[in-house]
Amino acid sequence: MKVYVARQPIFDQKLRVCGYELLYRRSEKNIFEHVDDALATADVIHNAYLVFNFRELTEGTRAFINFPQNLIEGEVPALLPRQSLVVEVLEHVEPTEKVLAALRSLRRKGYTIALDDFVFEEKYRPLIGLADIIKIDYQATPVEQQKRLIDALGHRVEFLAEKIETPLEYETAKQLGYKMFQGYFFSKPTVVHGAEVHPLRHTLVEVLKELDCPEPNFRRIAGLIERSVDLSYKMLRSVNTVYQKGRHTIQSIEQAVARIGLDELRRWSYLMLLREMQTSESKELIKQSVIRGKMMELIAADSTPEVKPFDAFITGIFSSLDVILDETMTSLVSELPVEPVVKEALLGKRNALRGLLEAVTAYEHLTVPVDESAPDWSPYYIQAIRWAQTFDEKSE
């Protein structure tokens, strides 16, 4: 499922990007479709931190995120890293004792507080005392009123001019004393989309990252798998029925991880990762990808010494990932903990692995010219089909 977030850059006086405001979006249409403020903020947080690469989304700067009254009172911002977050207090948040206490707590923990679309009223004075940044709607606030606010408070807080739309407005805002700027003159919000990662998929990626370490920590790997009842069940069943082949039954995840071996554990994890991406529409495509991966592994082990069998397996099973997830292969391989040679092959760069992938794909489509001297790959194909069927049956 695709998820969305919009981002609008915020600039300093030297026109350097110093942050991005992250905005709720439901589709590629760059408009705010009305939804409850708390739901909108929850959606932005989920997508920014759990779906996208947050550091890439903000280019290493800070995220300005709107928080309504109930989320501030619950100190929800404290769940996020303080170094990369600016807590924007929405304009209709009332300065109740509960809100003020929550903001004081956030300040003590090192969070940056901004007042969004600020218009001065006496009741908001306690909020001013807790703010690091005050955002002013340049279009909605008379210039003289902006000047009075900046002159009165500019010595202790930074002012951010929102909705700057022309060069003249930018120059005027600088002269007024604004330190930050945002608006259509610089950039409209840009919608970014990505594929939502299932929690089980996230666990598998973490397992694969640990397996990619020079000295994998088996206890940590077992701990990651044990957090998911579904994944624990699938692993024990797979190991006992597929890999053990009648030997003593394995009773624990840690025992399974130690017994199965690194290569088999990697293979199993990649297969489970692929299966987690499966939908009714992609089921057959994934099945064919698994067969392709196993066939490539068998060929590499038997007659292609320049290709590592495991690299061949991974290349084959992920060769249709862009079609399965409707994403570019470039964005997908950047998140996969695989060898550079595998990434190059998946991206179409010429190497021995890419050559093997194209040859096997041609064989599948029966486009290989009839050549009596060519190797007969049908035994590999049949063996790969049988293996895929066995694994599929045992890992359900």
Yes or no: say if 124 and 103 are a contact pair by the CB < 8 Å rule. Answer: no
Q: Are residues 92 and 183 in the same domain?
A: yes
Residue that is last in its domain, among 250, 276, 302:
276
Q: Are residues 248 and 170 in the same domain?
A: no
- pLDDT greater than 80 at residue 391: no
Q: Which residue has the tokens 């002013």?
A: 136
pLDDT of residue 394: 46
Q: Are residues 10 and 67 in the same domain?
A: yes
pLDDT of residue 30: 57
Residue that is last in its domain, among 172, 195, 218:
195
Query: Given its phi and psi angles, is residue 92 left (phi above 0), alpha (psi -120 to 50 degrees) or beta?
Result: alpha
Return the higher-pLDDT residue of 250 and 4.
4
Q: Are residues 33 and 65 in the same domain?
A: yes
Range of the domain at 106: 2-195
The whole-number average pLDDT for the span 42-57 is 79
Residue that is last in its domain, among 223, 250, 276:
276
In our burial notation (b when 16+ CB lie closer than 10 A, e otherwise), range 364-382 reads eeeeeeeeeeeeebeebbe
Yes or no: say if 197 and 51 are a contact pair by the CB < 8 Å rule. Answer: yes
* Distance in angstroms (rounded) separating the CA atoms of residues 169 and 151: 18
- pLDDT greater than 60 at residue 199: no
- pLDDT greater than 70 at residue 233: no
Q: Are residues 250 and 383 in the same domain?
A: no
Kindly state the tokens that stand for 174. Answer: 């600088």
- 329-334 contacts, C-beta under 8 A, 24 or more apart: 331/194
pLDDT of residue 194: 61
Q: Are residues 63 and 135 in the same domain?
A: yes
* Distance in angstroms (rounded) separating the CA atoms of residues 255 and 22: 45
Which range of 170-174, 240-244, 251-255, 258-262 scores highest in mean pLDDT? It is 170-174
Q: Are residues 17 and 59 in the same domain?
A: yes
Q: Are residues 298 and 270 in the same domain?
A: no
pLDDT of residue 240: 62
Within a 10 A sphere around the Cβ of 83, how many other Cβ atoms? 9
Mean residue pLDDT across the chain: 83
* Distance in angstroms (rounded) separating the CA atoms of residues 339 and 151: 57
Q: Are residues 23 and 66 in the same domain?
A: yes
Q: Are residues 226 and 169 in the same domain?
A: no
| pLDDT class of 395 with cuts at 50, 70, 90 | very low
| pLDDT class of 197 with cuts at 50, 70, 90 | very low
- Span 61-88, pLDDT tens digits: 999 999 999 999 988 898 888 899 999 9
Structural domain tally of the chain? 3
* Distance in angstroms (rounded) separating the CA atoms of residues 114 and 306: 58
Kindly state the tokens that stand for 75. Answer: 């100190």
Partner residues linked to 112 by β-bridges: 86
Question: Which CATH number characterizes residue 170's domain?
Answer: 3.20.20.450
Q: Are residues 264 and 368 in the same domain?
A: no
- Span 80-138, pLDDT tens digits: 888 999 999 999 899 999 999 999 999 999 999 999 999 888 888 999 999 999 999 99
Q: Are residues 206 and 318 in the same domain?
A: no
